[in-house]
Structure 1
Amino acid sequence: PFKRAFEQGFALVLGTAGDDEEDRELAARARALAGEWAYRANGRALQLTDAEFLQRGHDGNLILIGNADTNAAWDQLIGPDAPLRVERGGVRLGPNLHTGDDLAVLAVLPRRGDAEHLVGVVGSSGPVGTRLHAVSAPFTSGVGIPDFLIFDGRVLQDGDGGVRAAGFWDHHWRLPSDGR
């Protein structure tokens, strides 16, 4: 489940490779997550920019904020063979492509090249999707988030009707054969 990424001395890795609006929204999302962690878990979340992480690294789980276009650490942390890729304008989940600039993604994946640690993805396909994360509540007691969750702006009006995909990876961190 997604919440496992917030173990083992995690750090937030904030994307700064986007345009001004994207970077501003990603910074706001990182501040909000850190603030919620301080309030709900009585802890301090280490925040690193993608450039800082690439320069000095971090030994622990990582929460990657952004997408492959806006976070320069994406390709180092999540390999090209991963079953999930978030980019501007869309999200690829296995063979399925979800398009739109209002997509928000929560997911957990193994950290590339590190069998001990995980990467939590707080991803989006654009600034609208980044702002949509305000409705997710990853630290609220009793809220269960599966291994991957993709939702769009319809979630504001239709609740679960805005969920594009949700589910669990198989034991090899792949999309199950049923495609969910």
Structure 2
Amino acid sequence: MVFMIDFYSAIQDFIETGGQVLLIIGVLIFVMWLMILERVFYYVKGHRERVKYVRSTWQARADKSSWNAEQIRQAMISRTAIALGGNLPILQALVALCPLLGLMGTVTGMIEVFDVMAVSGTGNARSMAAGVSKATIPTMAGMVGALSGVFATTWLQRTAKRERLKLEERLLLEH
């Protein structure tokens, strides 16, 4: 229990040091990773069930060689590919938002530095340090979130493409 209280106070101190933009970046990264985990769970569980359904539907067809059968096969593959892609465009948008919000945190932190400089002059380094940390911490958080999101979405896209190709091959072999 003490660990949780210490963890919570450390997070609260970090957010106070980085400013309000850091809280927005944190929520954005949390939502982004929830969506990434949803895709991973779909690939592990839901996609396998969908492939079983598509394969059994295709195997149950008597006609597999006509033009109509080819169009039905392509439609089933396309629907599966759409389900695989799911929320990948939204994930890519969230990844792109992370560094932009980090830059917004940089601007707000630098505004605070300039306010301190206007009031106390350039000789008070201690009072300027808080603004500099509010300028750099959100930038770092935005970049960390964007990098982790780029790696995850790239993996998800590659996996979706690979699974689509595997399904196409399986349905062609069952021709």
- For normalisation by structure 1, the TM-score amounts to 0.23
Structure 1 or 2: more strand by fraction: 1
Q: Based on CA coordinates, which of the two structures has the bigger radius of gyration?
A: 2
Q: Give the structure, 1 or 2, with the largest relative contact order (CA under 8 Å, sep 6 or more).
A: 2
